[in-house]
Chains A and B, each alone.
Chain A
């Protein structure tokens, strides 16, 4: 033990330029949630416009200033908000916020390592993320406003600075911000993979890893394979914008003027973008699946059902995610045969997904379930994973997708299956590991209230969208009241927007609980949920290096809950056995 390097005691190095994974985890969490809250407010603002088009919200003008003149949102600002909402939620909250927080917190703690493979790269990863967040927010305030081409930034809107107001400086900043974000994500993923493979404690074989770690591992591998391709797509886009190349552009007229671009194709961008874009869905989702697997087993006081099947299905989902990107492009004039191939690979994803759902339910089945907010949000994820998944079967099928492409059906589908599932997983993780993050407990009653209001309002928002989509209402439109065709949809839109406001208010409950508990919550015991994994053997207060003295060795898998002997008595006198407990003489290790 050595304490002679006092610079680690300094405020600057402890809280700001920390290389300790636990502090970096908190930095990711707080930055991610801040961005997420901004994204949530944006969505509520444009839902006001969609629910009550043309109505004046003078209260909002106070917040939005010239964006909301006379209380009515301007059309170009609406597009900018939709774009920024998508970008922030997908990348900043659910990619960096989710993976950054829990991979950083749990990988070293659960595999038994003192820190990440490289604390320095880890710190860089956070600061690149911070910088990209700041740049993204600054882009709201440049001339022309933020990027407005949708979060998928298809060219030509994104490639020609003169195309629409947001295509200028806003789009440039968007690209810069995302390039830095990709670097951050790659540095993080590098670290996670190497740490998991090389720094496990004695006895921690791969089949003794908690499912959280498996999920973070697959997430990081998918990230390393897919984000560089997005970088290449963005690079070609930057070239088209700034150096007059024609990778994505051909035969374009603006204001009657023919532009000097020929031979390129915007479809190329879609291919490159969705080669990242689809794996990105699982970068967002897998950590949530890992977190909830862990929580459901712990809270049901039962071993996870089908541990190996869980790993296998995550691996299958990760692999398949790379060969399905075409299902985002069925209406691009794709050869119908190719469409059929992408339909086939897409529908295959239903199999591993169904395996996971089955295993969640069988783990809960007849369990001695402890109801905490984390349990509720985990079960909430199982619910959204099913309801969002079944509409995936519709969208994955080219013949059906063409009818509802770019409608609210799609918006409803991906918000439920990816947005809600991932954020529920993230909330579950925060409630469950809050004692590990802040050494204090969150309030369960407020947590339960948060869950019930959130799930009710989330379904209130996204479920009716399927009907809007089936009726043909297109996504991203500024208003639906201009089209007599959609006149009978007004009530549904009001309904959705009302729930959007309730959902926002529900998150204030969480925010209060989070901040209050971090400072004033009751002190956490060492192992509040009676978990078996290594993080619950570390001291409650944070120490750099995680364990005083030696790192504990591991002797069993992480799911020895309610293990009984031949007389039906709990082994070791309790319904859980820590991974650090050596195997008894006649104990069955279940092949782990």
Chain B
């Protein structure tokens, strides 16, 4: 089998430039539908009358603030990369990473709070089950974001990004902002159903 232009690095780069972001966006659409399905399920279940008004853990409010800050930090990092200010970019991406990990930690605090109050993932309280399920699934998606963030972190420290070449940062930040938006949606949704 003869290969035509397929092994050519220019061709590969061109395809990557053209398709990375659209691939991500359509992936995001499917994640939106996934959480859309689940939160619709909550509303249907709520009609069953089995909801008992669990107060949302305070830690989740802290999570919300932390994830907004992380998005801001990442955005500053992207701006610095675009301007070629590598030192600032390093600091900003590192800060994003720290804030991202802090978010996961505050989620853990929230779950511990729920456990301390006697609400579990399993059992007959659907409200409590949904609380765990939605937040855990969000964190699982966020771990994907952290993996992509750590690649950006390493590449930033190795000075692989230039003002001309920062596609990887853009893809990663798009997903990160999406995760922030998804959390904010879930936070207000959970506030609404637990109120």
Contact = CB atoms under 8 A, between A and B. Distances in A.
B31 interface: yes
A236 B41 contact: yes
B75 to A, nearest CB: 25
B164 interface: no
B4 A199 contact: no
A250 B47 CA distance: 14
Contact of A199 (B15, B50, B133): B15
Given A232-B37, A245-B123, A247-B129, A544 B4 contact: yes
B144 interface: no
Residue from B15, B35, B123 whose CB has the most chain A CB atoms within 10 Å: B15
Contacts of A197: 22
B3 A268 contact: no
A590 B50 CA distance: 61
Interface string A115-134: 10110010000000000000
Given A190-B27, A262-B50, A246 B5 contact: no
B124 A260 contact: yes
Contacts of B38: 232, 235-236
B23 A117 contact: yes
A478 interface: no
Contacts of B116: none
A548 B5 CA distance: 9
A66 B84 CA distance: 72
A548 B41 contact: no
Interface in A233-284: 233, 235-236, 239, 243-247, 250, 260-265, 267-268, 271-272, 275
B52 to A, nearest CB: 10
Contact of B33 (A194, A229, A546): A229
A545 interface: yes
B45 A268 contact: yes
Contacts of B40: 271-272
Interface stretch (A3-11, A71-79, A83-91, A514-522): A3-11
B188 interface: no
Nearest to B127: A263
Contacts of A199: 15, 18-19
Interface in A177-225: 186, 189-191, 193-195, 197-199, 224-225
A542 interface: yes
- In this complex, the interface size class of chain B, counting residues with CB under 8 Å from chain A, is 35 or more
Interface residues of A, number: 60
B115 to A, nearest CB: 15
B14 to A, nearest CB: 10
Contacts of B15: 117, 199
Contacts of B129: 239, 245-247
Contacts of B31: 228
Contacts of A332: none
A159 interface: no
B195 interface: no
A228 B3 contact: no
Given A194-B19, A225-B29, A272 B37 contact: yes
Interface of B: 1-8, 11, 15, 18-19, 22-23, 26-27, 29-31, 33-38, 40-41, 44-45, 48-50, 121-126, 129, 133, 137
Given A117-B22, A224-B26, A229-B37, 7 more contacts: A5-B7, A118-B19, A118-B23, A190-B23, A198-B18, A224-B30, A245-B121
20 contacts: A5-B7, A9-B1, A114-B4, A114-B5, A194-B22, A199-B15, A199-B19, A224-B33, A235-B137, A239-B129, A245-B129, A246-B50, A263-B45, A263-B50, A264-B50, A265-B44, A265-B45, A542-B1, A543-B1, A545-B5
